[in-house]
Amino acid sequence: MRLFIAVNFDGQTKENLLLLQSRLRKLGSGSFSRPENLHLTLAFLGEVAPRRVAVICRLMDQITFSVLRLTFDHLGCFKREGGDIWWAGLAPNRALTDLQEELSRRLTDAGFPLECRRFSPHITLARRVVLMEEPDKNKLLEAPFSTDADSVSLMLSEKKDGKLTYTQQYAAYAQKD
């Protein structure tokens, strides 16, 4: 099973992200993330034996966190040959970083190998993007927007009918104040 842990978004947040995608579409071409696949990855687990899923769920339940206030405040891209990866970035958020670090530490301690790169919270909007001109990123994202996240989800990544599909397998919820 190919798994990752993520923050999923409500409908309004997805609408805001889709608006950013539509502005990018007008400037060129690319492979745009499907609305149901828009998420914030906290930990990519890769291939995991089904018998280990219960361990992941227990680890997720052991982490306590409050509702996260996430603010999307910038756009960026990772330059790639054959087309860039465009993403929506989040304002610095200590609570989100603490959650991601604790989750990663617990998973690593339990024997799950994780990538060792710095956490850079972003939501992939499109891959293999080729634009006709370099856009003004401030015009693409006219104003920051925010959302509250009250859960983290264990997600299964698989191809269904030739489409990349993410399916929630489990969720852990924020503490109620």
Answer yes or no: 39 catalytic: yes
Torsion of CA 35, 41, 44, 50, to 10 degrees: -60
Answer yes or no: 122 catalytic: yes
* Active-site position among 68, 100, 122, 149: 122
* Active-site position among 6, 16, 39, 149: 39
Running DSSP on this structure, what letter comes out for residue 116?
Answer: -
Strand arrangement, sheet containing 151-160: 39-47, 2-8, 151-160, 163-173
54, 83 contact by CB (below 8 A): no
What is the pairing mode between strands 84-90 and 68-78?
antiparallel
Active site residues: 39, 122
